[in-house]
Amino acid sequence: MFGILAQATQPVVTEVEILEKVSSFFYTAWGMLLAMVVLVAGVVGWVVPWWISRAQKLSFELKEKELLDRIETQREEAERQIAQLDQRLTQKMDEELAEAKGDAFFAQGVVLQEMKGYRPVGLQLAVLAAGNYVRAAEEQKGKVGVSLKGAIKACQGHEDELGNTSESTLDMLNILAADLKAHGLEPRFGDMVEQFRKLLEKAGEDTKKASGESGGGTE
């Protein structure tokens, strides 16, 4: 009897209560799931755009650096080409100026070398012409030999006309010899320089000898 009463006092769980508990559990579970989905969506919605933005920024920075490096390389190459062009233009102008000066000295020298009393000046102009041709363009350097040959020819047989000017002409010839050596032209024109030098030295010796004899006769 007491067993029956004990069973009677236990709470009776009805089907409605079971359904309510089950329903409450599912509502709670769905709520939690929905909250997690919203949270994940929020995180993804913030992280993904940030990551995309960051990736785009990094990509842009890399492309910008690559572009700037390319621009810098092109600028340096342009400056190098401009410098080379400027150097070539300057060299060409210097060569043309040297040739023009050489032609002017040569033309005047040729005339004076044939005039008695002006032959020493003509020879010095020939040396000046040769010195300028040394600095002219490569195809014009042959004029050095033309100028020296003309001077040697004009000097031969007329050493007595040179007088004391032979020493100053020798000084100019020594400068020319140094220029020829500096420009690697000594093998081409060195023999001419030496031939001209001997003529000038002989003219100087003859002048000194003549002066000595003249002085001795006066005494």
Is pLDDT larger for residue 13 or for residue 90?
Answer: 90
Residue 39 has pLDDT above 60, yes or no: yes
Domain ranges of the chain: 91-210
CA distance 23 to 34: 16
pLDDT score of 144: 95
Residue 147 has pLDDT above 70, yes or no: yes
CA distance 173 to 106: 15
Residue 99 has pLDDT above 90, yes or no: yes
pLDDT in tens, 64-92: 788 888 888 888 888 889 898 888 889 89
State both tokens at 28: 């709670």
Q: What are the backbone angles phi and psi of residue 157, rounded to the nearest 5°? A: 85, -5
Q: Are 96 and 135 in contact (CB under 8 A)?
A: no
Backbone torsion region of residue 14, taken as left when φ is above 0, otherwise alpha when ψ lies between -120 and 50, otherwise beta: beta
pTM for the whole thing?
A: 0.63
| Structural Rg of the chain based on CA atoms | 53
Return the DSSP state at 162: T
